[in-house]
Amino acid sequence: MSMILDGASVATSIKEQLETRIQSLKDIGVTPCLATILVGDDPSSETYVRMKGNACRRLGMESRRIHLEESTSTEQLIDEIRKLNEDGTVHGILLQHPVPHHIDERAAFEAISIDKDVDGVTTLGFAQTAFGFGLYPSCTPAAIMAILDAYNLQIEGKHAVVIGRSPILGKPVSLMLLNRNATVTICHSKTNQLDEIVRSADIVVAAVGKPKFVQGDWIKPGAIVMDAGYNKGNVGDVDYDACLNKAGAITPVPAGVGPVTIATLLKHTVDAAERLSIK
């Protein structure tokens, strides 16, 4: 029987550990503040921003929301980001993505100060993660690692197969696993015989953005399955029911990686507030 990796309980533990640190900052007149920027009126993005804001407020942090019109230009967006960079009361900046197609998303990400890049979206932050000393790795990869560690699941010496190569999920989690001495194979839409490669994995990270993409007969008995996907209908990138009896451990969707991703964002913001308050 598979071990269900309860992300909700891991997230609760992370947030409980933040409470004392947040109070200590408030005692010296600092309230950790996460600024979220939303461009346009995409309903899913609005929901994600609202969830992050509510999570901040429940912990006694400040959530500052900047909502820009759909017609906002790249230059206007970057100008807003620079204002937040210079605002000493803001400790973390999150640009909700995707942004409208006419905006140069990468240029906007690069405008975020490395000291406030709590979502791990800049190329400098990525490079620091690759070298093993990134202060704020991308939040979903960091959440995956946090769950593995919370359950004391071995990474060193294991073969990890990551399905997906996005710059804020597949690539950074591959590097984080590599830095923990796993042997890592990165798969993507051009990979041949994907099912055979996955069958060799001790750890499977599904980050492909397709509902129920990973099939039960792809999973080696006893493998650890980390589902980083979230699709319509509250389903992940893994066929959960089919994989449940094959995997040694598996994250559900919802209540798996998602809650820990948000908790990690809050943790990074508190980390940044502590660092910036002593500069």
What are the pLDDT digits (tens) for 196-231? 999 999 999 999 999 999 999 999 999 999 999 999
Are 193 and 173 within 8 A, CB to CB?
no
Of 15, 96, 158, 267, catalytic: 96
H/E stretch holding 53: helix 43-58
Question: 171 near 126, Cβ under 8 Å?
Answer: yes
Question: Helices 257-277 and 43-58: crossing angle, nearest 10°?
Answer: 60
3-class DSSP string for 100-135: CCCCCHHHHHHCCCHHHCCCCCCHHHHHHHHCCCCC
Say if residue 14's pLDDT is above 90.
Answer: yes
Same fold for the domain at 29-113 and the one at 139-257? yes
- The one catalytic residue in 6, 15, 52, 128 is 52
* Centroid of chain to Cα 182: 20
pLDDT at position 2: 87
pLDDT at position 279 is 66
Is 210 assigned a catalytic role? no
Q: What is the pLDDT of residue 222?
A: 98
Question: pLDDT at position 44, please?
Answer: 87
User: Could you tell me the CA-to-CA distances from 39 to 77, 113, 116, 235, 255 in Å, in that order?
Assistant: 8, 19, 19, 26, 27
Give the mean pLDDT of 240-265. 97
Alpha carbon distance 77, 104 (integer Å) = 10
**Domains of the chain by residue range:** 29-113, 139-257
**Assigned token pair, 111:** 């405008």
CA-nearest of 248, 131, 128, 246 to 179 is 131
Contact 268, 118 (CB under 8 A): yes
CATH says 139-257 is which class? alpha beta
Quote the pLDDT of residue 275.
Answer: 96
C-beta of residue 143 within 8 angstroms of C-beta of residue 172 = no
Q: Is 183 helix (H, G, I), strand (E, B) or coil?
A: strand
Residues of the chain above pLDDT 90, percent: 95
The predicted structure's pLDDT at residue 92:
98
Query: Is 29-113 in CATH node 3.40.50.10860?
Result: yes
How confident is the model over 148-176, as a mean pLDDT? 98
Q: Per the residue annotation, which of 6, 119, 202, 237 is the catalytic one?
A: 119
- Catalytic (active site) residue 128: no
pTM over 0.85: yes
Note whether 25 and 278 are within 8 A (CB): no
Mean pLDDT, rounded, of the chain: 96
* pLDDT tens digits along 77-99: 999 999 999 999 999 999 999 99
Distance CA 260, CA 238 (A): 18
Residue 220 appears among annotated catalytic residues:
no
Residue 50: how many CB atoms within 10 A of its CB?
14
Residue 100 in tokens:
């409208």
CA distance 62 to 67: 16
Q: What is the mean pLDDT of residues 171-175?
A: 98
